[in-house]
Structure 1
Amino acid sequence: MKYTICELFAGVGGFRVGFEKGSSHWTTVWANQWEPSKKTQHAFECYKSHFETSGGINEFSNVDISQVPTESIPYHTVLVGGFPCQDYSVASTGAKGIQGKKGVLWWEIERILKDKRPPFVLLENVDRLLKSPSKQRGRDFGVIINCLAKLGYSIEWRVINAAEYGFQQRRRRTFIFAVHNTTNYYKELKNQSVYQQLQHSGFFSSIFNIQTFSQETINGIDIKEKFDLDTLKISNDFNFEFKNSGMYRNGVIYTIETTPNNLLTKYQITLQDVLEKHVDEKYILSDEDLEKWIYMKGSKAIERTSKEGHKYIFREGGIAFPDSINKPARTMLTSESTKNRSTHVVEDVETGRLRVLTPLECERINGFPDNWTNTGMTQSFRYFCMGNALVVNLIEHMARKLQQIVEEED
């Protein structure tokens, strides 16, 4: 079996960077990145500038994925991708989940899987995916599991906070690993009990250790018996409380709330470890803006009036100001560096003055090489790309595990 990857929704190449840092065995045979409504495709141009000479790019790499014929995609061993997640914001008004404008891109993944049937699939999304949509909790993830099951896959998932395994950002993301039931790896796994797979022998539990849990705390639902693996029935009637870890096998979904084993955090990478020593004056907060920053970061109790006319108190907790540089960074958003409460503000290590992060520091917070996005895009879009990216360090570990798995397939 070849060590080949297909990367969907590639962004600036986080999965590919992680796989190539994790092992020299991996080759990306095809990638796709398309940002709708953008005249200049900055993310793709960044990806292209780093990888054009090493393959994986053709005439279909920078077009809407729905317009890509599957015959133009090479066969591959692992399909990877951080598929767009805006419609899974269950707290937002009007979010439609898997039926929304961005959520429908799941069906493009399914279309490719139907034709190519790669032995392994590794996907990333926001942790809210497990609770989407708000009016039918768990439906969207249930649909995804059901689609994969009908294509002959067994599935594991884990919500991973990178900082809980020693890395430099408190970023929580849902990772989904699917293995086709024809593989040697699956044949070995099916001899393990559900408890063994979730506790220590599964894909995620063998990489990212968790504390021992009781077998009695595993919850399950038989979707084959209850819904006959019918996607429409799942979409209409499925409702389930997914925990942060779980698996699907032989018609049954199992889920458990797990706690990381924090042994690795004694080697914790902190914000201080990624800060530059000399930064441009443009990153320093001005004296006249300081009061605005203090207000944005502070706790609030504001009287507001609803559309219906009744008054209520809007409350908002405070955020540390400035951010502690002795801890990992908070989750970066696409609005990083703009004037808002989620933007990091730190004391400059050289001068002690308050400042925002530089684009290079944001790249380090996600584990990218320095100046990875310094490829001609605007500075604001460099921040945007990092707000959309994943923590590459996690992918490095998964790539090494997948190399071991593929080695046993021949």
Structure 2
Amino acid sequence: MTKQVHFRVDDDVYEKLVDKAVASGQTLQQSMTMALCKYVGKVDTMKQNKSGYTFIDLFAGIGGLRLAFENNGSQSVYSNEWNKYSQQTYLANFGVQPDDDITKVDEKSIPDHDILVAGFPCQPFSIAGVSKKNSMGRATGFQDKTQGTLFFDVCRVIKAKRPKAIFLENVKNLKSHDKGRTFKIIMESLNELDYDVHYAILDAQDFVPQHRERIVIVGFDRRRYGYVDFEFNLKKPVHKPVLREILEPKVDDKYTLSDKLWNYLQAYAEKHRKAGNGFGYGMADLDSHTRTLSARYYKDGSEILIPQPGKNPRRLTPRECARLQGFPDSFKIPVSNTQAYKQFGNSVAVPIMTEAARLVQSKLIELDMGKQQDVELLMKEA
């Protein structure tokens, strides 16, 4: 059920509203609805009891990392995501409309926060200008090395807001991307911003029935805490989940592969088997874990196929993909199946990120308590 709300605005305000709607490819009604949701979301955030740490959610996707930090009691005060379909899912689940282009956001306008959280895209850096400066014996900073990439926007927010901690997530291949140059520049840039940085490649298969390796980079403000002793000592769940536990009992026949597609995948796999390659479809073991769910899963589902006695195998449903990534069944999927497959394939495995977030917050609590004790000791001695 929808309600009608009528506004009276001056002509100049109306013209700006129309211009904004046209620029974003929306109707005036859609643009106004999103603006109101964004406003209400900010008001709700301001009203929340600030019992935990605050964080911002950059390159937010559908909110997997937001869930991880909220599961530990932290509160989001700002989110940013450019993809309109991901925005739609984010809005449906969190009641907040993310900002849509981080490159156009004034970093000073972003609310103060304790933890900066970002699943930023992996891009190669241009090192020509940096190499020239090095040859001339001139120092280079993060601005020289990262300008033109989205990681630059992460750096400028860090510099402006100086959060207590940063939590960055990316694909495992970030370490080897562009022959290791990308990772080297990222680590150098965070070090130049005075953050004590730690990283690890984490595999989610103990937390969800999926082999999914991701790199997590954690940093603590060195100006505030000095050098920090931090380790990724994840507490694994007592029960290791298996695939059959997340499958739906009844699935529509539309998820079963057609004879044409199934024959093609078998022929493709056989061709590469004869050539000595390992390419091909992945028939899942229901009592184990799957391959990594990717954003291309919507194309044919070949990396994770579910066997069906007496018929062709099927692909996972969007809800099963959500479960494979550890999203709760209460998580809403308001988009098409194609977009849902892309979104969950691009997202994080929520349970392992929840555990990683817990470690970061526990370390912050320890550090902040230590600083408080130091202050009390100095006051006693004064």
Q: Fold match, TM over 0.5?
A: yes
User: Are the counterparts in 2 of residues 348 and 355 from structure 1 also a CA contact under 8 Å?
Assistant: yes
1:7-26 superposed matches below 5 A: 7-21=57-71, 23=72, 25-26=73-74
Q: Compute the TM-score of the two structures, normalised by the length of structure 2.
A: 0.71
1:300 aligns with 2:342: no
Deviation at 1:153, TM superposition (A): 0.6
Could you tell me how far apart the structure 2 residues matched to 1:175 and 1:266 are? Answer: 23
Could you tell me how far apart the structure 2 residues matched to 1:155 and 1:286 are? Answer: 49
How has the CA–CA distance of structure 1 residues 391 and 145 changed in structure 2, closer, same or farther, with 3 Å as cutoff? Answer: same
Could you tell me how far apart the structure 1 residues matched to 2:357 and 2:273 are? Answer: 47
Aligned equivalent of 1:332, options 282, 285, 293: 293
Deviation at 1:276, TM superposition (A): 0.7
User: Are the counterparts in 1 of residues 103 and 153 from structure 2 also a CA contact under 8 Å?
Assistant: yes
1:178 aligns with 2:201: no
Could you say which residue in structure 1 is the equivalent of 2:343?
385
1:35-184 superposed matches below 5 A: 35=83, 41-52=84-95, 57=97, 61-85=98-122, 104-133=149-178, 137-163=179-205, 165-184=206-225
User: Are the counterparts in 2 of residues 299 and 317 from structure 1 also a CA contact under 8 Å?
Assistant: no
1:347 aligns with 2:307: yes
Please, which runs of 5 or more residues in structure 1 have no aligned partner?
Answer: 36-40, 89-97, 190-201, 209-263, 303-313
CA RMSD in angstroms comes to: 2.9
Deviation at 1:318, TM superposition (A): 4.8
Could you tell me how far apart the structure 2 residues matched to 1:102 and 1:319 are? Answer: 39
1:205-224 superposed matches below 5 A: 206-207=233-234
Could you tell me how far apart the structure 2 residues matched to 1:295 and 1:265 are? Answer: 40
How has the CA–CA distance of structure 1 residues 348 and 20 changed in structure 2, closer, same or farther, with 3 Å as cutoff? Answer: farther
How has the CA–CA distance of structure 1 residues 4 and 128 changed in structure 2, closer, same or farther, with 3 Å as cutoff? Answer: same
User: Are the counterparts in 2 of residues 299 and 319 from structure 1 also a CA contact under 8 Å?
Assistant: no
* Bigger proportion of residues as strand: 1
Could you say which residue in structure 2 is the equivalent of 1:357?
316
1:244-323 superposed matches below 5 A: 264=236, 267-298=239-270, 300=272, 315-319=276-280, 321-323=282-284
Deviation at 1:285, TM superposition (A): 2.0
1:207 partner amino acid: L
Q: Secondary structure at the match of 1:123?
A: strand
Aligned equivalent of 1:397, options 333, 341, 355: 355
Q: Secondary structure at the match of 1:207?
A: coil
Could you say which residue in structure 1 is the equivalent of 2:82?
34
1:126 partner amino acid: V
* Bigger Rg, structure 1 or 2: 2
Please, which runs of 5 or more residues in structure 2 have no aligned partner?
Answer: 1-50, 126-142, 370-382
Deviation at 1:402, TM superposition (A): 2.8
2:217 partner amino acid: I
Could you tell me how far apart the structure 1 residues matched to 2:301 and 2:144 are? Answer: 30
Q: Secondary structure at the match of 1:121?
A: strand
How has the CA–CA distance of structure 1 residues 158 and 43 changed in structure 2, closer, same or farther, with 3 Å as cutoff? Answer: same
Deviation at 1:49, TM superposition (A): 1.7
User: Are the counterparts in 1 of residues 204 and 213 from structure 2 also a CA contact under 8 Å?
Assistant: yes
Q: Give aligned-pair identity as a percent.
A: 29
Could you say which residue in structure 2 is the equivalent of 1:94?
none
Runs of 4+ in 1 over 6 A off after TM superposition: 98-103
Deviation at 1:4, TM superposition (A): 0.3
Q: In the comparison of the two structures, how many residue pairs are matched?
A: 301
Q: Compute the TM-score of the two structures, normalised by the length of structure 1.
A: 0.67
* Bigger proportion of residues as helix: 2
1:322 partner amino acid: M
2:114 partner amino acid: T
Could you say which residue in structure 1 is the equivalent of 2:17?
none
Could you tell me how far apart the structure 2 residues matched to 1:324 and 1:338 are? Answer: 21
Q: Secondary structure at the match of 1:142?
A: helix
User: Are the counterparts in 2 of residues 334 and 383 from structure 1 also a CA contact under 8 Å?
Assistant: yes
User: Are the counterparts in 1 of residues 116 and 165 from structure 2 also a CA contact under 8 Å?
Assistant: yes
Could you tell me how far apart the structure 1 residues matched to 2:343 and 2:313 are? Answer: 24
- Relative CO higher for 1 or 2, CA cutoff 8 Å, sep ≥ 6? 1
Q: Secondary structure at the match of 1:278?
A: coil
